[in-house]
């Protein structure tokens, strides 16, 4: 074990944890990573060099974006920040080591809109690296993922004269809400990749356990549906209005039924509804924030078609018009068996992994990485999504909660795994 790199990776994790940024706002994070990669001898690609800026989904509020960019500009300077402007926060390090395969490792960077716990038994608070941004925290392990990516960068840089091939470390924005990978796929940045890996640290998976191919991730679509009606006096002439709230209400009731139709995993949720101006006015506008999930792309497509019919019918009944806007998406995906076996072989030789599982189909929700997987596999490459146990002994914390944390002792074995895979594939 390289103790110096292990400590460096832990320090990276704590830096990212203390300085969280939401999806498409990872300006400081991206600039910090770019500087580190450059110092390690990587060719650094930024913003539009990595992603299609015309295909960004689910953008944040313009005022919020401006504040985040200005904050980063004060730290890093305008010249460094220009390539990342207008939410182009993807960054990648490329290390060319002669002829050989193109191997890519994807890690995500974004945090969540959650107020971090300040409880005495919450380790980030104890150790002084809890979030400095009120209401924003790393509650899903992406701070650890980014730290692992930079740890791998150190290893590759130190070993580059013994490698054959091209190595890409892709730091992806906006994984939460499955918004970030689509713009990278559409850019063609990964078109020449032969092998693609990613891993997720799980706070609810026992430390020491690793699943070499997680094949249970669900396909999903995140949608904003807006109904446009006509206002009228609710007491005097309601018949002259077109009630957008009624159109939304009917949609909710009908959508709830379709998740119980047919076989396979089907999830439909309306997580937020807004609309109307006052109790005595027929609502001229309403909006629904919806997600669909399914354990196969066929079922997901079926759910999407049903949703479109329900929205159209609900709008017509109230004389409303409507708009359906996709703000996130991810595909169902299955890792390559041969790659899973390769990961298993390497994991079994790393001290930190004591329970090595070849593959599973456990439902762990959706993951933006699957769209990248499918793009690589469609072109004839191989990909795998790895699950790594990172639970803290004596604690059972769930993802996306204020007391989320990971066991830092898993970070270096994860670096070692990716580095060993890179070496193995270069032979």
Q: What CA–CA distance (Å, rounded) separates 108 from 182?
A: 14
pLDDT recorded at residue 113: 98
On the question of a common fold for 3-217+333-425 and 219-329, the answer reads no
- Residue bearing tokens 């002439």: 237
Which CATH number describes the domain made up of 3-217+333-425?
A: 3.40.630.10
What residues does 93 pair with on adjacent strands?
A: 44, 169
DSSP labels, 345-365: HHHTTSTT--EEE--B-----
For 416, other C-beta atoms within 10 Å of its C-beta total 25
- The values of phi and psi at residue 26, to 5°, are -80, 50
pLDDT recorded at residue 1: 58
What residues does 327 pair with on adjacent strands?
A: none
Domain boundaries defined on the chain: 3-217+333-425, 219-329
Query: 18 in helix, strand or coil?
Result: helix
Compute CA distances 358 → 80, 213, 234, 373, whole Å: 42, 6, 62, 18
pLDDT recorded at residue 139: 98
Instruction: Output the pTM of the full model.
Output: 0.94
Q: Provide the strand spans (E) within 184-240.
A: 195-202, 209-211, 219-228
Q: What CA–CA distance (Å, rounded) separates 38 from 262?
A: 52
The answer to whether the beta carbons of residues 173 and 328 sit under 8 Å apart is no
For 10, other C-beta atoms within 10 Å of its C-beta total 18
Q: Where are the alpha helices (DSSP H) in 40-162?
A: 62-76, 78-81, 123-127, 142-159
CA torsion sign for 344, 347, 349, 354 is: negative
Residue among 18, 11, 65, 67 nearest 36 (CA)? 11
The answer to whether the beta carbons of residues 284 and 228 sit under 8 Å apart is yes
What residues does 210 pair with on adjacent strands?
A: 356, 388
Per-residue pLDDT of the chain (427 residues; tens, 9 = 90+): 577 899 999 999 999 999 999 999 999 999 999 999 999 999 999 999 999 999 999 999 999 999 999 999 999 999 999 999 999 999 999 999 999 999 999 999 999 999 999 999 999 999 999 999 999 999 999 999 999 999 999 999 999 999 999 999 999 999 999 999 999 999 999 999 999 999 999 999 999 999 999 999 999 999 999 999 999 999 999 999 999 999 999 999 999 999 999 888 899 999 999 999 999 999 999 999 999 999 999 999 999 999 999 999 999 999 999 999 999 999 998 999 999 999 999 999 999 999 999 999 998 889 999 999 999 999 999 999 999 999 998 888 999 999 999 999 999 999 999 999 999 999 7
- The values of phi and psi at residue 173, to 5°, are -85, 165
Question: Residue 116: which region, alpha, beta or left (left: phi > 0; alpha: psi -120 to 50)?
Answer: beta
Q: What CA–CA distance (Å, rounded) separates 393 from 69?
A: 39
Q: Where are the alpha helices (DSSP H) in 318-404?
A: 337-347, 369-378
Query: 130 in helix, strand or coil?
Result: coil
Assigned CATH topology for domain 219-329: Alpha-Beta Plaits (3.30.70)
């Amino acid at each position: 074990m390289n103790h110096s790199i292990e400590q460096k990776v832990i320090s990276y994790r704590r830096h990212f944890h203390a300085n969280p940024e939401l999806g498409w706002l990872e300006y400081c994070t991206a600039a910090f990573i770019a500087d580190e990669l450059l110092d390690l001898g990587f060719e650094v690609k930024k913003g539009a060099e990595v992603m299609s800026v015309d295909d960004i989904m689910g953008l944040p509020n313009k005022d919020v974006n401006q504040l985040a960019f200005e904050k980063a500009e004060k730290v890093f300077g305008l010249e460094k920040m220009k390539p990342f402007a207008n939410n182009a926060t993807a960054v990648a390090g490329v290390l060319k080591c002669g002829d050989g395969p193109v191997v890519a490792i994807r890690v995500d960077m974004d945090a969540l809109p959650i107020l971090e716990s300040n409880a005495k038994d919450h380790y980030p608070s104890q150790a002084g690296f809890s979030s400095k941004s009120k209401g924003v925290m790393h509650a899903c392990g992406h701070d650890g993922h980014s730290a692992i990516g930079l740890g791998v960068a150190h290893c590759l840089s130190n070993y580059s004269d013994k490698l054959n091939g091209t190595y890409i470390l892709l730091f992806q924005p906006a994984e939460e809400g499955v918004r970030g990978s689509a713009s990278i796929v559409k850019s063609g940045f990964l078109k020449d990749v032969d092998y693609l890996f990613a891993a997720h640290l799980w706070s609810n998976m026992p430390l020491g356990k690793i699943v070499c191919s997680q094949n249970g991730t669900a396909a999903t679509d995140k949608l904003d549906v807006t109904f446009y009606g006509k206002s009228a006096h609710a007491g005097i002439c309601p018949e002259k209005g077109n009630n957008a709230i009624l159109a939304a209400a009917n949609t909710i009731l009908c959508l709830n039924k379709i998740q119980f139709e047919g076989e396979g995993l089907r999830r439909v949720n309306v997580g937020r509804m807004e609309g109307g101006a006052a109790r005595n006015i027929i609502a001229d506008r309403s909006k629904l924030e919806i997600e669909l999930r399914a354990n196969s792309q066929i079922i997901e497509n079926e759910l999407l078609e049903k949703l479109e019919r329900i929205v159209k019918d609900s709008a017509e009944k109230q004389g409303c018009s409507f708009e359906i806007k996709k703000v996130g998406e991810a595909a169902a995906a299955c890792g390559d068996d041969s790659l899973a076996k390769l990961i298993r072989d390497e994991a079994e030789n790393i001290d930190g992994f004591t329970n090595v599982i070849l593959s599973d189909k456990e439902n762990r929700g959706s993951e933006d990485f699957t769209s990248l997987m499918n793009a690589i596999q469609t072109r004839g490459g191989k990909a795998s999504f790895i699950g790594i146990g990172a639970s803290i002994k004596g604690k059972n914390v769930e993802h996306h909660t204020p007391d989320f944390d990971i066991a830092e002792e898993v970070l270096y074995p994860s670096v070692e795994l990716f580095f060993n895979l890179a070496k193995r594939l270069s032979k």
